[in-house]
């Protein structure tokens, strides 16, 4: 396959994955609308899972939509619908993720020489969203993330739209400074941490919402796990993301910066914001064990951390002109004819 | 306050009367220390640190990009003095930023030292006795067993020991087993916080004793590592000149590949061929300096940062003396390598000559507009305007070599009274009006921007971060747990000889202990359990 063919494949694959994500979102919306009027499942689910746990041992962890939805006390028909659409949404998300991955591979194969698909904003964004989906799918069973499905799918879909509409750029070779194996290590870890923090942020946001509405609510919120469970899931995901983030921005980043820019810490805006994110998440982890800060304030901190993270991921590249990390700059399309009227160049 | 009513009466000396909330200096100190080392203060300091780092990413920083900073300052004459007072152009060296992280460090040290002692005491203490009522703990299970009390407890001990739990030594009459694990969590925690201090020390060493400097070096020239050879040099405050490694290198060749891409022609795989000697008298070695592949000579790291063109320009003044000659680095304005540069010859007679203008690597006139159509030097053209008068070089203030001070200079005009523009190809000479002299464009040489740095303590910093990561993982993933198993002679209502209760407690607050309970239960139980758990 030629490079152009790969690039076309990548572009088409991202469009297809967007459509499939959209279908998945529809499926989940149908699933959730069928839940309207469901009475709180918390108690029922708890007893159900305890029963399962004590009799079958480790299978106790709630197993996806069937289990949780089944615990609702709606009519049999609506229960069935919920389960069906929940499974359908999950299946569609999996298909979309595979197509999404195809697009990433196509991006890498389209470049000459072949490379990892992390050369510009567009590629970072589609990689970051892929990791969000992947982590959601991987953790789906372990943390019973069925409640998160519509949020994740909607988020990934909107980020993909942003990427395709505003950030899309053609495949280009890496600039010289990016041409290093540290790109693989540094960016992989940063993207994984970003994915984890995003999922953790969603959990914290749900915690805040549920905290506001009260632990027991009717309707869709009833399906969301208890505050304690949400808090624990959020902590676990953040606790995974934090060391990975540390590795990305405080170990591999500085090592690479030392090789490419002569100094391991330059106070470059990207570095500053990565550091801010690190500090905020460090504060989150401390806040969880501090009286007066656990719960609400900790959840807010997690969201602040997420905001700094995404601002850094996208915002800095557009707002900061000094960043050595700004890959978003619209480089001249060809070696662009630069006009120079008189060589006085007062406004250079 | 009420005591004040009897004001003139002297209070008895043994018990000095004090107002509510009044503290003597020692108490005040202790109170302040307690406040400073509390987790709440540490949290607020952390958030302050994050907040304080923000301005440095918005306002150009002198230490990061001094050129940009001076331009910004020139554009904002009213804000600049205010910002300067607040050290907003060097946020990360500013007193207020330092104050935050120094307080944070004190708070951290004040927190970890006592915790270390607490920990040392804790590992010498056996796990606590079982609470009276295990079924009151959030995670518990109870079931009947056919075995005797002693057998049950003995089995529990074996199972827990196998799982790495530390057991409370059994005493006569105990009807329970008490076990604990996860002691390393606190070690990880302490290691992490200590490592943060190590990182800070390493970072401080680098910025105090290190230096950063750069030089623009034209192809064919030789560079001896002395401070005078640098274009810019930023030493740390404790840096001494004898730290400079006495190496010498010559910049022999420059290679660059131009690659046509859909985003323009990009410079690929550029490298500078160097021949260097570590110190006078040692062997010559050669190295291809490339981006991402620095050269280390002694304690100094040498980096290739950028490249550009240096037109070789000769200026002859009105009296026929050669007043300027040599490669003049021009700064690339963008990927097309259209470059801007300045020539200053203050010694020219009858008047000083200043040139300012553009260098086109591959010149092409497109619809009357001068353009460069390729970044390689295929058809180089120099296009300069000319100034004469006072170029401001007599005053001993430092002036950028890329800026022409035109405040007291006048632009030279051509015969029609328009600003004169010299358009020169290689080998061409232009004669300036009014007998000022001539300008010749001799040839073009590539230049490279080479960065030099010494960063003492970088290994220490790296070690610190790696230790911090290991410690952090320990403190996040090791789960400290206590498990109790109690066995009592059964009520025999369901035919079992012994009633067994198991309870587990996760002390980190983040864990789910139900699986632990299950595991132990699985191993333990002989009969199907009657579990009652809640989360």
* Interval A181-230: pLDDT, tens: 888 899 899 999 999 999 999 999 999 998 887 766 566 677 788 888 88
Do the chains contact at B451 and A268, CB–CB below 8 Å? no
Could you tell me which residues are beta bridge partners of residue A43?
A: none
For residues B194 and B113, is the Cβ–Cβ distance under 8 A?
A: no
CA closest to B293 among chain A residues: A259
Residues B248-263: what's their mean pLDDT? Answer: 83
Q: Note the pLDDT of residue B496.
A: 65
- Chain B residues inside the 8 Å CB shell of A311: none
What distance in Å separates residue B216's CA from the closest CA in chain A? 15
> What ipTM was predicted for this assembly?
0.80
CA A297 to chain centroid? 22
Contact at CB, B263 and A172, closer than 8 angstroms = yes
For testing contact with chain A, the best of B41, B64, B289 (most A CBs within 10 A): B64
Model confidence pLDDT, tens digit, residues B285-324: 999 998 888 999 989 999 988 888 999 999 998 888 898 9
Chain A nearest-CA distance from B62, in A, is 11
Query: CB-based contact (8 Å) between A23 and chain B?
Result: no
B412 to chain A: closest CA residue:
A344
Check if B39 contacts A (Cβ < 8 Å).
yes
Q: Which two tokens stand for residue B203?
A: 């970072």
Q: Whole-prediction pTM value?
A: 0.81
Rounded to a whole number of angstroms, the distance from the CA of A23 to the nearest CA of chain B is: 34
**Residue A46: pLDDT band with limits 50, 70, 90:** very low
Which helix H or strand E contains A307, and what residues bound it?
A: helix A296-310
Confidence bin at A43 (pLDDT 50/70/90): very low
State residue B319's pLDDT score. Answer: 87
8 A C-beta contact, residue B288 and residue B273: yes
Nearest CA in chain B to A284: B43
The answer to whether B356 contacts A343, with C-beta atoms less than 8 Å apart, is yes
Residue A37 — very low, low, confident or very high, per pLDDT cuts 50/70/90? low
Q: In terms of pLDDT, which residue wins out, A281 or B271?
A: A281
Binning chain B into helix, strand and coil, the percentages to the nearest 5 are 30, 35, 35
Q: Which of B43, B267, B331, B357 is the mutation pick for testing A, counting most A CBs within 10 A?
A: B43
Residues on chain A touching B64 (C-beta within 8 angstroms): 266-268, 322
Nearest CB among A57, A250, A280 relative to B50 is that of A280
Query: Is A287 an 8 Å CB contact of chain B?
Result: yes
Q: Do B56 and A272 form a contact (C-beta atoms < 8 A)?
A: yes
Alpha carbon of A95: minimum distance to chain B alpha carbons (Å): 32
Q: Do B53 and A275 touch (CB under 8 A)?
A: yes
Residues of A in contact with B451 (CB under 8 A): 261-262
- Picking from A57, A265, A293, the nearest residue to B518 by CB comes out as A57
- Tell me the DSSP string of A97-110: HHHHHHHHHHHHHH
Residue positions counted in chain B: 535
- Comparing alpha-carbon positions, the chain B residue that sits nearest to A4 is B262
Q: Say which residues have a Cβ less than 8 Å from residue B183's Cβ, sequence separation at least 6.
A: B122, B123, B166, B480
Task: Quote the CA–CA distance of B507 and B396 in Å, as a whole number.
Answer: 68
Query: How many angstroms away from the CA of A260 is the closest CA of chain B?
Result: 4
The count of other CB atoms within 10 Å of the CB of residue A126 is 26
pLDDT of residue B410 exceeding 70:
yes
Ranking B128-142, B259-273, B367-381 by mean pLDDT, the lowest is B259-273
Q: Would you list the DSSP string of B217-283? A: EETT-EEE-SGGG-SEEEE-TT--GGGS---EEEEEEEEEEEEEEBTEEEEEEEEEEEEEESSTTSP
In whole angstroms, what is the distance from residue B226 CA to residue B305 CA? 19
pLDDT at B234: 85
The predicted model gives A235-260 an average pLDDT of 92
Q: Which of the 8 DSSP states describes residue A247?
A: I
Asked whether the predicted pLDDT for residue A6 surpasses 70, the reply is: yes
The pLDDT assigned to B9 comes to: 47
Is the model's pLDDT at A131 over the cut of 50?
yes
Q: Where are the domains of chain A?
A: 174-348
Q: Which one of A114-118, B378-382, B484-488 scores highest in mean pLDDT?
A: B378-382
In this prediction, residue A50 carries a pLDDT of 41
Q: Which residues 143-172 of A have a C-beta within 8 angstroms of B? A: 169-172
Distance from CA of A73 to the nearest CA of B (A): 21
Asked if A272 and B57 come within 8 Å (Cβ–Cβ), the reply is yes
Contact A344 B42 (CB under 8 A): no
Does pLDDT of B266 surpass 80?
Answer: no
CB contacts of B43 in chain A (<8 Å) are: 283, 286-287, 290, 293
Q: Say which residues have a Cβ less than 8 Å from residue A152's Cβ, sequence separation at least 6.
A: A93, A132, A133, A136, A145, A199, A202
């Amino acid at each position: 396959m030629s490079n152009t063919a790969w690039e076309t494949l990548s572009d088409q694959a991202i469009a297809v994955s967007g459509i499939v994500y959209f279908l998945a979102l529809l499926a989940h919306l149908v699933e959730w609308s069928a839940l309207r009027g469901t009475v709180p499942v918390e108690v029922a689910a708890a007893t159900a899972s305890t029963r399962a746990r004590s009799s079958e041992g480790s299978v106790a962890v709630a197993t996806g939509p069937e289990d949780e939805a089944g615990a609702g006390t709606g009519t049999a028909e609506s229960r069935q619908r919920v389960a069906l659409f929940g499974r359908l949404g999950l299946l569609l998300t999996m298909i979309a993720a595979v197509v999404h991955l195809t697009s990433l591979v196509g991006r890498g194969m389209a470049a000459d020489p072949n490379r990892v698909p992390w050369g510009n904003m567009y590629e970072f964004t589609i990689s970051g969203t892929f990791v969000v989906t992947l982590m959601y799918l991987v953790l789906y069973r372990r943390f019973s993330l069925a409640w998160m499905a519509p949020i994740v799918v909607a988020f990934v879909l909107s980020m993909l739209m942003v990427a395709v509409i505003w950030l899309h750029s053609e495949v280009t070779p890496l600039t010289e400074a990016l041409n290093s194996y540290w790109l693989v290590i540094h960016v992989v870890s940063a993207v994984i941490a970003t994915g984890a923090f995003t999922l953790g942020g969603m959990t914290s946001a749900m915690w805040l919402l549920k905290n506001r509405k009260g632990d027991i609510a009717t309707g869709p919120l009833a399906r969301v796990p208890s505050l304690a469970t949400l808090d624990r899931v959020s902590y676990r995901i953040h606790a995974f993301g934090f060391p990975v983030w540390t590795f990305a921005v405080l170990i591999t980043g500085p090592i690479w910066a030392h090789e490419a820019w002569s100094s391991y810490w330059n106070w470059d805006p990207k570095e500053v914001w990565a550091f801010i994110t690190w500090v905020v998440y460090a504060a989150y982890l401390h806040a969880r064990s501090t009286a007066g800060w656990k719960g609400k304030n900790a959840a807010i901190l997690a969201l602040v951390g997420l905001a700094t993270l995404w601002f850094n991921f996208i915002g800095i590249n557009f707002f900061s002109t000094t960043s050595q990390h700004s890959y978003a700059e619209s480089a001249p399309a060809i070696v662009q004819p630069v006009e120079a009227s008189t060589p006085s160049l007062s406004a250079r | 306050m009420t005591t004040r009513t009897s004001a003139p009466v002297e209070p008895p000396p043994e018990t000095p009367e004090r107002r509510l909330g009044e503290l003597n200096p020692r108490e005040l100190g202790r109170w302040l220390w307690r406040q400073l080392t509390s987790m709440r203060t540490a949290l607020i300091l952390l958030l302050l640190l994050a907040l304080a780092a923000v301005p440095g990413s918005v306002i150009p920083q002198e230490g990061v990009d001094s050129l940009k900073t001076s331009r910004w300052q020139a554009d904002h004459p009213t804000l600049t003095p205010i910002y300067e007072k607040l050290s907003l152009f060097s946020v990360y060296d500013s007193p207020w930023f330092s104050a935050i992280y120094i307080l944070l460090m004190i708070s951290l040290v004040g927190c970890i030292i006592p915790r270390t002692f607490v920990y040392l005491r804790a590992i010498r203490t056996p796990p606590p006795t079982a609470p009276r009522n295990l079924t009151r703990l959030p995670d518990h299970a109870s079931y009947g067993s056919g075995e005797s009390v002693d057998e049950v407890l003995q089995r529990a001990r074996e199972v827990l020991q196998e799982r790495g739990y530390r057991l409370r030594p059994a005493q006569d009459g105990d009807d329970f087993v008490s076990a604990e694990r996860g002691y390393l969590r606190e070690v990880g925690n302490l290691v992490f916080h200590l490592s943060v201090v190590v990182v800070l020390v390493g970072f401080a060493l680098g910025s105090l004793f290190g230096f950063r400097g750069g030089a623009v070096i034209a192809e064919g020239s030789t560079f001896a590592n002395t401070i005078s050879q640098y274009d810019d040099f930023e030493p740390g405050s404790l840096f001494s000149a004898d730290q400079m490694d006495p190496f010498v290198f010559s910049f022999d060749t420059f290679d660059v590949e131009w690659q046509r891409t859909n985003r323009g022609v990009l410079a690929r795989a550029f490298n500078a061929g160097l021949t260097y000697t570590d110190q006078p008298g040692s062997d010559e070695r050669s190295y291809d300096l490339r981006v991402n592949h620095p050269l280390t000579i002694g304690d100094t790291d040498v980096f290739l940062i950028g490249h550009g063109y240096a037109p070789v320009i000769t200026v002859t003044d009105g009296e026929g003396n050669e007043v300027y000659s040599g490669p003049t680095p021009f700064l690339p304005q963008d990927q097309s390598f259209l470059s801007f540069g300045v020539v200053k010859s203050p010694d020219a007679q009858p008047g000083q000559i200043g040139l300012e203008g553009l260098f086109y690597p591959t010149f092409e006139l497109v619809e009357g507009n001068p353009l460069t159509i390729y970044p390689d030097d295929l058809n180089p053209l120099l296009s300069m305007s000319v100034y004469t008068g006072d170029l401001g070089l007599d005053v001993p203030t430092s002036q950028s070599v890329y800026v022409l001070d035109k405040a007291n200079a006048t632009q030279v005009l051509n015969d029609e009274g328009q600003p004169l523009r010299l358009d020169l190809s290689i080998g061409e000479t232009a004669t300036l009006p009014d007998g000022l002299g001539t300008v010749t464009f001799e040839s073009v040489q590539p230049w490279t921007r080479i960065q030099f740095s010494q960063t003492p303590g970088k290994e220490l910093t790296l070690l610190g971060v790696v230790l911090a990561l290991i410690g952090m993982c320990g403190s996040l993933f090791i789960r400290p747990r206590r498990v109790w198993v109690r066995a009592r002679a059964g009520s025999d209502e369901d035919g079992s000889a012994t009633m067994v209760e198991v309870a587990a407690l996760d002390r980190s607050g983040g864990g789910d202990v139900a699986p632990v309970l299950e595991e132990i239960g699985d191993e333990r139980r002989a009969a199907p359990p009657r579990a009652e758990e809640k989360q």
